């Protein structure tokens, strides 16, 4: 039964990934159709991520009140309906309107399932969980590139994503009674008591603050590349919108492969060693982006960005119960998800403004800045952990 529930969780994480990579590949077609400035896409992303931050911070309370299964099922339904709403949007106002429930649903799923797997399953399962997220974010650019190549209709890409998402929601709803049959040791509905402490309480812990910085930077890299990668390819490299969407698919594929390999390697390597390998791969990938590359070369470089950055999020999440304690893990992971989505909410929109006011050519410089901050926070975090261990 524990394995069956894990399969349901993996499927739900495909559903979590599907909405996250639709908007970026669709945006060049959307702003052209609606006659919008390229930078206003940042407002849509900002609203989406604001909803995600709110639901992430509420996740410990929601899990204690309703349980992981119900929170996940309801949130998946909400995201499916928001995707359908996007497909019928005729102006910028409706894009903003449907972005809010999309963010609220995604944040609740992310925090609930990350905490659940961190508490009840192994590091391998956490990495595979995020690998399935990678599958979801890889599917969406495929849907969008197919819709754009067929008739240039970005709405068709959103409708395809809706049908997949509503099927995932149905599977999750049907599985709710099965979670109740699980014993606590198996990872079931009888969940461990969690302290719903405030972010201010967590902010007093230096280790938590350093993880916040790492999540912010990792997700700033991830989502700037996903949201604005297509615009960079179209505006700076002169690549067509449908080809750019396919190249971004390789970026998300790199994330999925990185998390899959991380899951395999976690049998032999610690979470920290996998994070170090990811950092090294990401450094090499960013160096490649500064070179004058062909379409194939750009696709390979973006693939490596996803490959290196992909394992950092799940491995850092899995370390949380060990770092802060099991009873605080729900609140800590919720705050980490909120920090991650603050990175998503604030920094990709800033790139959008810079791309319009300066040039999209700053894309590799922008990603490299966050890599430098992230690796600095990692060294401070490791030093703090070693210091605490030495005092025990």
Give the residue carrying structure tokens 């700076």: 236
pLDDT of residue 183: 43
Q: Identify the CA nearest to 22 among candidates 195, 148, 206, 202.
A: 148
pLDDT of residue 193: 53
> SS3 of 263, please?
helix
Domains present along the chain, CATH in parentheses: 2-391 (1.20.1250.20)
* DSSP code at position 359: -
> Please, are residues 278 and 258 in contact by the beta-carbon 8 Å criterion?
yes
Q: Where are the alpha helices (DSSP H) in 40-122?
A: 41-57, 59-66, 68-87, 92-120
For 197, list phi and psi in degrees, rounded to 5: -85, 160
pLDDT of residue 189: 45
Regions of the chain where pLDDT drops below 70: 1, 181-199, 326-327, 329, 392
Q: What percent of the chain has pLDDT over 70?
A: 93
pLDDT of residue 188: 42
Number of C-beta neighbours around residue 37 at 10 A:
10
Q: And the tokens for 49?
A: 């991520």
CA distance 112 to 72: 7
Using CA atoms, how far residue 37 sits from 27, 31, 353, in Å, is 11, 7, 10
- On whether the pTM is more than 0.95, the answer is no
* DSSP code at position 192: P
Q: And the tokens for 165?
A: 């998402």
CA distance 52 to 122: 26
CA distance 80 to 196: 28
pLDDT of residue 22: 85
Nearest-10 crossing angle of helices 68-87, 154-180: 170
pLDDT of residue 156: 87
CA distance 16 to 391: 40
CA distance 79 to 99: 9
């Amino acid at each position: 039964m524990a394995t069956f529930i894990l399969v349901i969780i993996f499927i739900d994480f495909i559903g979590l990934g599907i909405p996250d990579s639709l908007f970026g590949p669709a945006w060049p077609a959307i702003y052209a159709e609606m006659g919008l400035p390229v930078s206003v896409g940042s407002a849509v992303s900002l609203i989406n991520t604001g909803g995600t931050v709110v639901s992430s911070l509420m996740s410990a309370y929601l899990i204690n009140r309703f349980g992981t299964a119900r929170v996940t099922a309801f949130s998946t339904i909400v995201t499916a309906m928001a995707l359908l709403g996007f497909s019928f949007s005729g102006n910028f106002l409706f894009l903003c309107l449907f972005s809010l429930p999309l963010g609220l649903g995604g944040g609740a799923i992310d925090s609930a399932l990350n905490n659940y797997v961190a508490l009840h399953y192994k590091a391998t399962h956490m990495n595979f969980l995020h690998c399935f997220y990678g599958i979801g974010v890889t599917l969406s650019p495929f849907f969008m590139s197919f819709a754009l190549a067929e008739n240039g209709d970005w709405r068709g890409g959103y409708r395809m994503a809706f049908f997949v998402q509503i099927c995932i929601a149905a599977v999750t709803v049907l599985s709710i009674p099965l979670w109740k049959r699980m014993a606590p040791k198996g990872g079931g509905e009888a969940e461990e008591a969690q302290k719903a402490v405030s972010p201010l309480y967590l902010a007093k812990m230096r280790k938590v603050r350093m993880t916040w910085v790492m999540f912010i930077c990792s997700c700033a890299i991830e989502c700037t590349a996903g949201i604005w990668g297509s615009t960079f390819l179209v505006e700076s490299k002169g690549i067509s919108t449908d080809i750019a969407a396919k190249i971004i698919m390789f970026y998300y594929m790199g994330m999925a492969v990185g998390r899959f390999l991380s899951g395999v390697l976690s049998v032999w390597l610690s979470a920290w060693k996998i994070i170090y390998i990811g950092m090294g791969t990401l450094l090499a990938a960013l160096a490649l982006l500064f070179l004058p590359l062909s379409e194939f070369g750009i696709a390979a470089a973006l693939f490596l960005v996803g490959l290196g950055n992909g394992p950092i999020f799940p491995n850092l999440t899995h370390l949380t119960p060990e770092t802060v304690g099991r009873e605080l893990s729900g609140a800590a992971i919720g705050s980490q998800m909120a920090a991650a989505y603050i990175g998503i909410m604030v920094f990709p929109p800033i790139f959008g403004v810079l791309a319009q006011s300066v040039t999209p050519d700053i894309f590799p410089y922008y990603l490299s800045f966050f890599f430098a901050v992230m690796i600095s926070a990692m060294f401070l975090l490791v030093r703090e952990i070693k210091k605490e261990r030495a005092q025990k």
